[in-house]
Chains A and B, each alone.
Chain A
Amino acid sequence: MLHRLLFGLLLTAASTMSVFAHHGWGSYDASKPITVTGPIETSKYENPHATITVKAADKVWTVTLAPISRMQSRGASAEFVGVGKTVSAYGYPSTVEKDEMRAERINVDGKTVEMR
């Protein structure tokens, strides 16, 4: 009886886990969307997410983008988000890291690329 119960628990845990598996947006406040605009000061085109720092009017923001294979396939190459480019990033501020936000989409040179 005990092993049937535990087996059931194992299966339940496995199936619920797949339900909430693909987010990674948990520590960002989606109720306070912001747009960060300015020149790109540093750019790391790396996994698991590319990150750039943007000198906005108020402060320097760290902007978390997407995995590099996704960015590449949507036309956002390393050069697209290279240092010196002017970017406008729409996204949500982190509830954990100060001055960090995660971009829902970015616009560079009039071209918009979705990050999600």
Chain B
Amino acid sequence: MSLRGLRLTGTTLAAVGLLLMLTVYGLSFFWVPTEVAQGVIQRIFYVHVPAAWVAFMAFGLVALTSAMYLWLRDERLDRAALSAAEGGMVFATVVITTGPLWARVAWGTYWTWEPRLTLTLLLWFVYLGYFLVRGSAENPERGKRFAAVVGIVGALDIPLIHLSVLWFRSLHPKPVVAKPEGPTLPAPMLITLLLGLLAFTLVFLGLFLLRYTLQTLRDAADARDRRATV
């Protein structure tokens, strides 16, 4: 696909995702019933969980494209990894800021060092390291390779985060959707959650394509400047 095509597709996906996101906001306030045990605060679920899903998907994409970059040394894979890492950081930041707002009311504290919270914070710092490693290397090619390794290692934390509520004593509830016997949420809650997952995924994919386009243009500009100075 041409850069113009990528840009158009990215803009369309992001716009549709953003509109859907606002629809989910509306549904979560006007359609979904208030949860009996937690009350209004449970509505953070409809942004917290989709943001977590997209962050994990983005970091999974970083790991996949980074592994393929180390194998094939194709610059397009490195650009994809960098673009996905940026998106992953945006959504992971949403997760670790909305979670404490929910916890303050549900648990009485903004933060506690329970396994899932700790592992999620660790994931955020690992991918912060991804950018630091990339930016601090004197040789850009070496920086890309080191960052790719960090991207792969960081993704190992994702299954641990998912399974931590089953393996350890945790304040987080057990899964209510991704479990063998199927989701146990009431229909309005489940539909709103699924729409939220779709909305956040579309926003991520759209902006990922735009960020990839940006990186391609930047590499082209850098290559042109290098040719001009030689």
A binds B: no
List A residues at the B interface (Cβ < 8 Å): none
